[in-house]
Amino acid sequence: NTDGARPSYMVVSTERPTCPTSFMYLVNVEAEAFPHVTGTFGVAQNELKDCVDPVANPILEADGTPRANLSWMNHNPTVFKNLIFVSWYGHGIRVIDISNPYNLREVGHAVPAPAGVARSYPVFDHGLIYWVDNRTGIHVARYSGPFANEIPTDAVYTGNDGRHH
């Protein structure tokens, strides 16, 4: 936001390994001396009551076998104008619509099964999304939800590469 035409925002992801787990915050930093949270996003393990709820925090896989002890932290957000793609460990890749900074909403996700742990920054290459899961290997997907036109189709892009920002 170099011309002041729109507010400046920053994404803050917390990494808390236990339940309740981490949140993601959208922070308005238009006035740097007075940052304030405009929106938040979390998953089921963010609610204290869900830490012991076997539906919200399942202990068994779909086939009835014991579920691996997974971490539920959010990690490595990649931000576009209206979307955030974030690795959320046991919750896979989450896609968050930030077009309304006061009402963040999930518009897509991919969860590797069984017991995946998505940790890497998503890499965008000509419309495809690649990410690494600690337990199940590399995954490839295509996002087709709202604002899909923001996904680069003419270059390789990753959130931790400062050359693209």
Distance, in Å, from the CA atom of 160 to the CA atom of 165, rounded to the nearest integer, reads 9
Contact criterion met (CB below 8 Å) for 42 and 92: no
The answer to whether residue 19 scores a pLDDT higher than 80 is no
Contact criterion met (CB below 8 Å) for 72 and 118: no
Element (H, E) at 83: strand 83-87
Contact criterion met (CB below 8 Å) for 106 and 115: no
3-state secondary structure of 82: coil
The answer to whether residue 28 scores a pLDDT higher than 80 is yes
- 161 to 2, 76, 91: CA distances (angstroms): 20, 12, 24
Q: What is the CA radius of gyration of the chain?
A: 17
| pLDDT at res. 102 | 94
| pLDDT at res. 161 | 64
Report pLDDT digits (tens) over 128-163.
999 888 778 888 999 999 999 998 888 787 776 655
Sheet of 36-41, strand order: 9-13, 24-28, 36-41
The answer to whether residue 27 scores a pLDDT higher than 60 is yes
Report pLDDT digits (tens) over 36-89.
999 988 876 666 666 666 666 666 666 777 666 667 777 788 888 899 998 887
Phi, psi of 50 (to 5 degrees): -80, -10
Contact criterion met (CB below 8 Å) for 96 and 106: yes
Contact criterion met (CB below 8 Å) for 78 and 84: yes
Question: Residue 116: CB partners within 8 Å, gap ≥ 6?
Answer: 90, 92, 133, 134, 135, 136
